[in-house]
Copies of this chain bind each other. A is one copy, B any other.
Amino acid sequence: MTRSSVPPPVTAVMDAASAWLPARMADVESRLAELSAGYGPRLGEEAEATLTAGGKRLRPILVLMAAGDGAGDRAVRVASAVEMVHMATLVHDDVLDGAPVRRGRPTVVARSGRDRAVGVGDLLFSRAFAELAVDGGEAEVAELSSASVALALGELAQRHDAFDTSITEERYLERCSLKTARLFESACRLGRISSGKPGTEELASFGREIGLAFQLLDDVLDVTGPPERTGKARGTDLIDGTVTLPLILARGRDPGLESIELRGLGRDAVETVCDRIAATGALGAVRDRAKHGIKRAKEILDSPDFSGEERELLGMIADGVVERYA
């Protein structure tokens, strides 16, 4: 993993951490590259592009940080497995959305078609469990498969809710929990289990809080743009019919948004809707919630189960989730 390919919060953590963390993250990158090879040149190319396309690598870093400075091959494998499940989901999501771009690069579905993209996702998914099984225990497979079930349910719930502008905040939060927070939680839990250190459930809660904050802020970013920063067009969620907290809160503040019809919304119209959402101040309210979540997450770290370095580095990751959107 070259420093230049990772976003600031992760880079900062890498710089602050003792040598073990960058060394183990480099191992994760090598492992992901290794796993994508060996499937024949054409597929390898595709899987490699997907696996190494960068991304924030937040989940594998959480695994390693939860495992701590004793993190060895086992933690590297768990971190790789978690990232592969995440990427499998992204590849499948892009199939459903017909998304042309992710992280500023063409998606697998855009480059190679729906068929191959569904297959590549299935492959990444299977490979994740194969990786975990190398020297893994029952508890770890149970944890990752349960998180995968949550991801699939979250995705299904989101599709089910598509274009329904009447969904409640509660329903939205439930979806975020399934779709995002659960895997962050698992990353922390899996890393900690592999270390045998105390504080597993505290770290799981920490992961859940920052995962949720991450999703809230991601949904803000969809409304604010700009594309150069987010790697996708502004208002993409709205066009896909995904109602998120910014719109839910804005609806209560601007009655004109109540009657909005997302289906068939064009590029220009979506810019107008984004502007109207922003004008209500809803974005600030969502950001505040996310910040409160980050605060709660950092309070969890006060437990004596965590070392000074853990508190510092995990705190930086938590702050980084917010800073990314500052």
* Residues of chain A whose beta carbon lies under 8 Å from any beta carbon of chain B: 39, 42-43, 89, 92, 95-96, 114-116, 118-123, 125-130, 132-138, 141-142, 144-146, 148-149, 151-153, 155-156, 159-160, 162
Contact = CB atoms under 8 A, between A and B. Distances in A.
B126 A156 contact: no
A155 B119 contact: yes
Contacts of A148: 122, 125-126, 129-130
A156 B126 CA distance: 13
B149 A126 contact: yes
Given A119-B156, A156-B116, A126 B151 contact: yes
6 contacts: A43-B156, A96-B115, A116-B156, A123-B153, A130-B145, A133-B142
Contacts of A125: 122, 125, 148, 152
A95 B122 contact: no
B141 A132 contact: yes
Contacts of A156: 43, 116, 119-120, 123
Contacts of A153: 39, 43, 123
Given A43-B160, A125-B152, 11 more contacts: A42-B160, A96-B115, A96-B119, A116-B160, A119-B156, A122-B125, A123-B156, A126-B149, A132-B141, A133-B141, A134-B142
B96 A152 contact: no
Of all A-B residue pairs in the complex, the 7 with the closest CB atoms, nearest first, are A126-B148, A129-B145, A130-B145, A133-B142, A123-B152, A119-B156, A133-B141
Contacts of A130: 142, 145-146, 148-149
Which of A95, A122, A136, A160 has the most chain B CB atoms closer than 10 A to its own CB?
Answer: A122
Contacts of A149: 123, 126-127, 130
